[in-house]
Amino acid sequence: MPQGSAERMAQLVAQLREQPAIAGQLPHEIGALVQEALDGASVHEIAQSHGISTEAVWNMLGTAAQAASGQGPARRVETGGLGSDTDPGVTGGYGDTGFGALGNEPPVSIPEEPIEPDQLEAWRAAARREGE
């Protein structure tokens, strides 16, 4: 069951009140957010006064509340969406699209020893034929 903004804020403020001096122990910007929350400001008011998103306010207040209650920060797990390529390999997950090559093919290796001009021209012609 989703939790409303007011209930979520009340829960965070209750955790922050367990250690009221936490606002002074945090970096200035986060401490200011915590103090505003303790003073009764809503998450939207805090976000607007600092020019940040409400999601950023929730994240910072949540981390501060966990610290105040003696818990470490929650570990976030990132997952790919449906159909995402989570193992892109050497090509970065991009290959031939059916609309032509994307230009992410590795460069043609050049031998260390110099090539004679007639060999160079034959090599370039072979490379053009492979690209067609």
Q: Along the 132 residues of the chain, how does pLDDT read in single tens digits? A: 346 888 888 888 888 888 878 778 888 888 888 889 989 998 999 999 999 999 999 988 888 888 887 776 656 666 655 555 555 555 555 555 555 566 666 677 776 766 677 777 887 888 888 766
The packing angle between helices 43-50 and 54-68, to 10°, is: 110
| Alpha helix positions (H), 1-132 | 5-17, 22-25, 28-38, 43-50, 54-68, 117-131
Instruction: Give residue limits of the domains in the chain.
Output: 5-68
